[in-house]
């Protein structure tokens, strides 16, 4: 190892040692200028009084398809068992079949649900495997306290939630429970903790200044390949600086008052309605405009009095007992998704509702967990001022096949992202 490379590795270790995480590289041209704290509030309330929002909800294990897909496409489709809780919102959502990312890998391919790109293939893609939510968040800048909120769990099969990815291929760690989400949204730091936080901002900033100097000196000594690696490192450093600036600008801005008392964590099953309600409050208070929720292996069937685990039930082997247990869990998820849509509809914003201004994606990167397939994914898009009310059965194969990323591109453009591609898209879908 060269002396220069060794020095760079030691510098990286030092940064980790003081708690700085180098992650989320992003192109400067995709980032708006970060506003000052007061300017951010003004921009939110005046320049964008009714902003567009985006929510993505993912299920790690898919849905039992015979009880999901109607047999008749179009606006007159029949209501299947799993769609029954959504019947009151029929005019507010579109059901899609035939969409997927063209990837294989069973449970591990689920991690490409919002990106369309497997981690192992990210190097060959123009934007890596950045996920839908993070691509949208790049345009938000400092307009909200949280550019995005990822909610889920670190427990369960295959390492917990892996739905949200940065441009550099770094997993966005989820907020693990209702209490943590509540505190993030509504609990202000004490005066002492606020002072310590400001000291940390100053410390991290001074360390990053030193890294800049070292990196520039190294650049003249490196070959082409190492310069590319250094550019990646530099990009990560710049993103840390943006995050420090964002945290600093909001440090003195009080958080909104909560209309509900602070909850205690119980489990993902019992907390699901509360998580949805907190997401509504996060959007309503403009604390964020982008949120994700992933339901994984910690969505445990024992809370329904079922002995077999959720993962085991999804591998039902066509046994009625297993399918009945699986549908119990899926009915519950659909019921509370319907409740979430109802809550969004109940919030008025001028002559529209919060649902009208919020695109809500609901689905899974898993199609048939029993067979470990990732084609023909279950996809619902609700709200967002799109034309809804039908079941669109799209060709799953052949020259007329449309990748799921086409839908994501349509969503990004609706959100205001000026782009003509995302992931594996070939164009827009709506």
pLDDT tens, position by position, 81-116: 999 999 999 999 999 999 999 999 998 899 999 999
Angle, to 10 degrees, between the axis of helix 3-17 and the axis of helix 224-250?
Answer: 20
Measured CA distances, 279 to 52, 136, 288, 337, 401 (Å): 15, 17, 9, 12, 34
Model pLDDT, residue 46: 37
The percent of the chain in helix, strand and coil, each rounded to the nearest 5, is: 45, 10, 45
Whether the CB-CB separation of 135 and 143 falls below 8 Å is answered with: no
Structural domains of the chain in order of their starting residue, each with its CATH number: 1-30+198-254 (no CATH), 53-187+260-415 (3.40.720)
For the chain, give the mean pLDDT.
83
Measured CA distances, 191 to 196, 248, 252 (Å): 9, 15, 10
> Is pLDDT at 34 greater than 50 in this prediction?
no
Model pLDDT, residue 99: 98
9 vs 215, which has greater pLDDT? 215
> Is pLDDT at 18 greater than 90 in this prediction?
no
pLDDT tens, position by position, 334-385: 999 999 999 999 999 999 999 999 999 999 999 999 999 999 999 999 999 9
> Is pLDDT at 25 greater than 80 in this prediction?
no
Residue 384 gets the label, from left (phi > 0), alpha (psi -120 to 50) or beta, of: left
User: CA-to-CA distance for 48 and 35, rounded, in angstroms?
Assistant: 14
> Is pLDDT at 16 greater than 50 in this prediction?
no
User: CA-to-CA distance for 63 and 45, rounded, in angstroms?
Assistant: 40
């Amino acid at each position: 190892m060269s002396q220069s490379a060794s020095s760079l590795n030691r510098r990286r270790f030092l940064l980790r040692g003081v708690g700085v995480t180098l992650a989320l590289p992003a192109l400067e041209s995709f980032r708006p200028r970060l506003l000052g704290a007061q300017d951010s509030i003004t921009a939110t309330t005046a320049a964008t009084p009714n902003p567009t929002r985006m929510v993505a909800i993912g299920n790690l294990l898919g849905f039992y398809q015979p009880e999901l897909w109607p047999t008749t496409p179009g606006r007159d489709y029949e209501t299947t068992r799993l769609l029954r809780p959504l019947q009151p919102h029929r005019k507010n959502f579109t059901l899609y079949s035939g969409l997927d990312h063209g990837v294989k890998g069973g449970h591990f391919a689920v991690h490409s649900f919002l990106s369309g790109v497997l981690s192992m293939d990210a190097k060959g893609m123009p934007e890596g495997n950045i996920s839908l939510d993070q691509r949208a968040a790049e345009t938000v800048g400092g307009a909200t306290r949280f550019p995005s909120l990822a909610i889920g769990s670190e427990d369960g099969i295959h390492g917990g939630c892996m739905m949200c990815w940065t441009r550099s291929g770094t997993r966005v760690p989820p907020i693990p429970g209702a209490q943590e989400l509540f505190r993030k949204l509504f609990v202000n730091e004490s005066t002492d903790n606020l002072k310590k936080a400001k000291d940390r901002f100053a410390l991290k900033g001074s360390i990053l200044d030193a890294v800049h100097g070292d990196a520039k000196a190294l650049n003249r000594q490196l070959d082409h390949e190492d310069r590319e690696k250094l550019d990646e490192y530099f990009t990560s450093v710049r993103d840390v600086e943006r995050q420090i600036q964002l945290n600093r600008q909001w440090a003195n801005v009080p958080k909104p008052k909560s209309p509900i008392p602070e909850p205690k964590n119980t489990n993902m099953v019992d907390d699901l309605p509360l998580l949805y309600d907190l997401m509504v409050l996060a959007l309503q208070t403009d604390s964020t405009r982008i949120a994700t929720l992933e339901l994984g292996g910690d969505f445990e069937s024992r809370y329904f009095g079922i002995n077999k685990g959720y993962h085991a039930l999804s591998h039902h082997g066509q046994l009625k007992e297993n399918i009945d247990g699986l549908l119990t869990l899926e009915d519950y998820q659909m019921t509370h998704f319907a409740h979430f849509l109802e809550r969004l509809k109940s919030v008025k914003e001028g002559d529209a509702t919060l649902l009208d201004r919020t695109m809500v994606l609901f689905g899974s990167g898993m199609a048939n967990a029993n067979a470990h397939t990732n084609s023909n994914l279950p996809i619902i898009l609700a709200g967002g001022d799109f034309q809804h009310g039908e079941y669109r059965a799209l060709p799953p194969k052949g020259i007329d096949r449309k990748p799921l990323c086409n839908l994501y591109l349509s969503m990004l453009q609706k959100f205001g992202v000026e782009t003509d591609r995302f992931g594996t898209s070939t164009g827009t879908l709506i």
